[in-house]
Copies of this chain bind each other. A is one copy, B any other.
Amino acid sequence: MRVSNLHTVELDGIDKIILEALMENSKTSISKIAKQVGVSSTAIHQRIKKLENANIIGDTVTLLNYKALGYKTTAYVGVFLEKSVYYKDAINDMLKIPEIIEAYFTTGNYTIFIKILCKDNDHLMSVLRNGIQEIKGIERTETIISLEQSISRQIKP
């Protein structure tokens, strides 16, 4: 890894192999990566520390299989706000709705764009009617329901 004077970072081949292994499985053992690359475990360990310090490696999380827990409906909702001033309050209200798992402030048609995870369509309707559309400043919403997720991945470093 090389850090230029303009805050950009150059990863070499070994860094990329490390990152790809950890992206796929955060529990990949250092020794396994070391064997694959052909250097010592210590070297890999030192590189990982550097990548962590450079803030390139972020969180390590366990993803739950929500379908197994009964969450089978994913939807996106475009939110039209009366005035952008309501943005902060709207986000605060949205934080209280656990089904909202992502929210973005956006350009274009919508002011706020959110991702929702629900058990089924009835649950989604209830979240929309009794949750989201009750939030102050929301004019109207447009809902996009996902029938199938076809791609889900990270970008390779």
- Which residues of A are at the interface with B, using a C-beta cutoff of 8 A? 8-9, 19, 22-27, 54-66, 68-71, 74, 76, 78, 91, 94-95, 98-110, 112-114, 117, 142-157
Contact = CB atoms under 8 A, between A and B. Distances in A.
B23 A144 contact: no
Given A78-B144, A103-B151, A108-B144, 12 more contacts: A9-B68, A23-B64, A25-B61, A55-B65, A63-B154, A95-B151, A103-B149, A104-B147, A105-B146, A106-B144, A108-B143, A114-B151
A68 B53 CA distance: 11
Nearest to A149: B104
Nearest to A153: B101
Kindly report how many copies of this chain are found in the complex they form together: 2
A75 B59 CA distance: 22
Contacts of A146: 104-106, 113
A26 B24 CA distance: 13
A21 to B, nearest CB: 9
A49 to B, nearest CB: 14
A126 to B, nearest CB: 15
A149 B102 CA distance: 8
A64 B154 contact: yes
A142 B9 contact: no
B69 A58 contact: no
Contacts of A61: 22-26, 60-61, 63, 154
